[in-house]
Every structure is written in C-alpha cells, then in structure tokens.
Structure 1
C-alpha cells in the first residue's frame, strides 16, 4: 500500500485521463436526472431523461464493443448468465397478473444488467477506464454531500437543482440527507462502495493518499448524515474480516482495519442515538420491529408471495405494489419492497429468477477467486454487496446497480483482453 501521495503519472491522471474522468462524471450526473420527465409514457409509467439516456448509452457501448472486439473468452459465461437473468425477467412478466407494471420494472432491471455487460466490455477494451470512472464516482460523492448540505441550509436554488434528481417526497427524510438520490440509504451505500473502489486503487498504486482521504471522509460524512444503520453492519463485518489474522494481510493492514472497526462502532453509536426516537416508537410493538423497523413483516409477506407463485413470482417490481395484501394492510401500495435480496428475487421472479441470479454471481466471481491478486478483493466485494442486501434491496435503483457494475468491471479489468475474443466467442453473440 502506498505510504505517501505520489504525484507521478500513475497518481495524477494525464490530460487524456482527466478528459475521461470528466466524461464519466458528466454521464453519471446525466443518468441521475430521474425527475426530468420525457413527454411520453411506457405502460402507463413516465420515462425520465436519466434512465432513457442510460439505456441508450449502454446499448451503444455494448453494440460497439461487440462489433469491434466480439466477446472475450472470459466474458462468455457472464454474458450467458446475464441472458439467463433477462430470460427469467421475461418469464416473470409473462406469468404476472400485472403485466404492464411488471414489464416497466423488468425494463429497469434489464437496463442494470445491460449496464453491467457494457461496463465489463468497456473494461476489457480499456482496462484503465474503471480508474477514471472510480474517480468520477468519488467526485459525485462530494457533489452529493454539497447538494445535500445546500438543501439542508436552504441555499437559494439548491431545492430546484435537487428536484431534478429526485422527487419532492424525498425531503420527508430531513434532517437526514440524500443528495441526488431518492433515499438516504442510496447515498450511504454509494459512498461506502466508492471508498472500497478507491481503497483498491490506492493499494495498487493507481491513486494517492489524497484520493483515499477524500473517499474516507466522504464515506464517514455520508454514513453519519444519512443516519443509515444497515450499511454499517456489512462495512463492520468487512473490517472485522480484514482485521482477522491471515497470511494474505500484513500486520499494518490488520491494525488499520481494527482502528477502522473502532471508528465504525463509534459511528454506529452516533447513528443509533440519532435514530433513537424511531426505534423507541417501533419498540412499542416488539423489539424485533424496533431492530428491523418493520422489515420482519415485509419478509414474511414476501415469503408468502413466493409460496403462492413459486416458479416465476408476482412479476418484476410487483411485490411492492401488493405489499398491503401480504402484510395485513400495514404499508401503502408502492411504498416498500422486500428489503432483502433473496426474498425480493423469490417474490418478484420466483425460483427461476433466483437460480439465474446465482448463476450470474457464480459466472462473475468464479474466475476472480482463482486469481491470487484479486481473490481478497473479490471476497471483500461479496461481503459488502451481499451484506448490504441482507436488510435492504438496492438493485432496482440505478445509483446502486451502477456502482456495483463498476466494481465488477474494475475487478475484471485487465483479465479479459479483447484480443482473446475468438470466432467461437463471436458466434455466442
């Protein structure tokens, strides 16, 4: 790990890299414009400038990569797994009693899967691209914090800018902050994921201490100001895993991880103190409700929905609109999803969707776990992403799926050169 800030070309990007960072940042901000509505509808639902632009860019990147490079041999299995997930989504739509609603959400999920494929293809063709995208994501974290602070202090014009990114209902979470996103948890998880992305680059000598410090301070501020609890748990588990004595980690790394674990504990106490009124209100029912803030009812309802529709589920995104029927009317329609990745997959896409998702995880992580240089980081990302998905379900939201896709692309960059794409790979497309 670098012990000082190195102003070498590896740490300070040249003009070309600065341009690439600027392009990535501009596209990221454009994709987040989810409240600028286009003048046409899709199955009764509005389309935003951000989602349509994202879909168009990812289609263009994917098509261009296939034409120029084909499919690298290392990406054949991920591509097949992505196609399996799209097939499972299609089956859940066709089997749903709410086809219009399921189709609209299936397109959202498919866009995230397409973004994953586009980023993998781009990383194969340009292994330095994930570094530029990570730096752009780091700048976006601080843009989020600045926008959230401006809204919090009611600076002129800040509210108008924020409403281009998320709906006005988001402000019901104040004094918690959300930045450009529609929920504070998305800002907290995004900042934590960016910190892990930057930490990996810093260990590889691709960025210096200043970038790492900005990522660390940004993550701490986001976690404290969003008051999100469920993000602290997987981050704490990840730090505990790094702090555990193993041959692949040095004493210095373990010491840093232990210090970070102590800091997370302090942050958790601070967040629990801020959220104490919510917890005491929920505790009037029972302690489990206080601990999960009502998630147990959602989990039970999602399980019941899956039992009724075991093979294909209710349809992509449908459970959140049926949640009152499965929770005794405790929640409003369209308000809450299953708040667990496993139960969300089962309730929305059934057993077929779950198997397709597991196949995708296997196809993406199996080759990484075989590479000694990437094994520790591959496990770290599994701990973080799966841990974040234990008490919540973030994949329908583009800020989370985009960062997750960037993380996977960053891990695969350099291990799937486009020159390795052969005729067999091309025929797969």
Structure 2
C-alpha cells in the first residue's frame, strides 16, 4: 500500500490498497476458473467412478476441517497487515483448545468459546509485547510462543482434568454441543440431486449441500468473519490506519497514527481468531480437549493466508482447498486420492499448455513431464498407500505455495523492526 500523503487520507475510508506484484484476477475470471476446476473434477468423477470426491458428506467434512485453518489464517492476516509476522498461530490455537474445553465442560460451550477467545488473545498479547515493545525478532517470538503454549497446556491439563469423569492427563471431560442446524427441504433436495450423479450439476449440489447440512453455529460465525474482515480492513478508517502500519509505519506515524496501538490491537485480534480456531477443534470437531489435536493447523492456516495473497477471499479459497484434501483422510481416502491423481495430471497438462502459450517453454516441458509421471502413477495402480493419503494435505500445501509464490506480495513492512519516532 502506498503511504497516505495527507492526514485526511489516513482518517477517511479509502477504496484503494496496494496492488499485488502481478495483475490481480477479477471476480468474474476467478468464478470462471473455479467453475472450470469443478467441471474438470466432475469429469474425473465420471471417468473414475469415485463419487465420494464431491458428495454432500465429503463437502460437509471438508467445511468442518477448513474452519480452524481459515480462522488461523484470518488471525495471521490481521497481524501481518499491521506488519507483525505471527508464526505463533499454532501456539495460540493450542491455548484456544485448552481454555475452551476447560471452561466449556464446567460452564457450558458458549462460555468455552468466550474463554478460548481470551486464551488465544493472551497469546497474541504476549507476542505483541515481545515484538512491538521489545522489538524481538518476530519469528523467534512466534516459535517461543508455540513451545510455551504446548508446555503450559501439558502442565495444566493434569491439574485441571485428572480425577474428573472422562478426563485424564491428556484429555478433558466431554463438552456439551453448541448445536447444529440443517436447512429443511433445501438440504434434502440438494442431497437427492447429488445422488443422481449428473455431470457438473450433481457436483454443484454436493458442494452447496455441504454448506447447509449439519452445520455448527460456530461454523456460521467463522464464515461470516471472512467478509467482516474484508469490510473492516478495506472499507473503514480503522482498517486503513491498521494497514498503513504494515506498509509504511514511519509515514503513518508522521500523519498522526499511533502505530504501537494498531499493532497491539491487530496482534491481539490475531490471537483471538487463532484461539477461536482452537475452540472449534475442542468443542465442535471433537467435544473435548486432546493433547496435540491442532496437528499443525496453525501452520497450514499461515500457508492458506500466503496462498490467498494476504486477502480474506483468497485465504478462504486456500482454507477450503486444504480442508478438502484433509477430509480425504476421513472419507474413503485411498480411492478418492487415486482419482485425484488423474485430476492432478489433467491440471498439469493444462498448466503446461498455458506456459507454452506464454512462451515459457522450459517450464512448460517440465510441467508436462511431471503431468505424464502423475498420469503413469494413476494408470499403473488401483490405489495409493495409506501413507500417501495421510501426507496429501501437507503435500498440497507445499505444491500450492510453490506454484503461487511468484504472484505474492506481502505488506512492505511485514516483519520489519519499528521504533516510535525513528523517522525523525
């Protein structure tokens, strides 16, 4: 973001923000790309007979797995838009899982949600004190918070849960459900349409059916936070000031912005969102705290944020992609991952053609060769090993980041040290 040039620019909402390094994809083009990818997936489903890759149950599971990743990614976005790198998202999620379950089984699930938010926010506050006030390296601070959160919860869990009914040194007693909702009529209609197995139409029905079937109220809140984040950061004066701290804090300070205050607020909100992702894991995904249940989702959320180019919409798409690949572990993983090998081969061939059109012939040949190898793997086997299924979410994370890295543009002052008055 180009630094504002007048005080009015900082104090008024602005429709402008810094463009990414390359041309940004417009919404109509993005919708066409998504529709094309879904059509290709439908074609693969018809060829392979792997109906599970787009059925309602698969999509519902994918949504549930995408929510904690997306919340962690939103937390990272808030912090990094203010110029603070937050590698500590994983630790803040861990705090959210423990505090949410601890309060939830004693005083009810909604109290658990609130206390889990506070637990994550405390992790964010610690990160803000260390990085903003004491100017410690952001990566070092984030890693330290991850270690501290893991150690603290391991110490507290036996004290809080041992001796309780259903509790142990590594697990909390069960927490009551927050409740789920299904849209009557629409859910059944979409499920019936999905079962017909029609090209594209049934796949759309499966995708939409997963959004209206057995959905937690916390899922609804998490989904609403995506457009809310976009509106606050890009359509309000508060958001403009916060983003200016991540782009050019010296210029922002010269125009009257309290840079420290906005960095603190952003990182505390970041921790609260990551804590909410942890609450989702310990109250919605599983009705109890379990040691290690975050399973690196804080890091995957950070990857989703980077994939989304530090934008809420792109982050949501990235979280959905990673949640979908993670869901393959739970529902017919081997057969579905084998079918997706064919999808991957087709996408690589399309990518090779695109690179050739842009006259990047060496890259096109490499991509085509990789696509041929993936197709040979698909054609030469009937299933994939369980180890490959388990590794799929992490492999997809690495591949997506590698392919999208050239189009990324982080906030200019992200991770850079800042001292009040340093521009004078």
Taking structure 2 as the reference length, what is the TM-score of the superposition? 0.27
Q: Larger relative CO (CA 8 A, sep 6+): 1 or 2?
A: 2
Larger C-alpha radius of gyration, 1 or 2?
2
TM-score by length of 1: 0.27
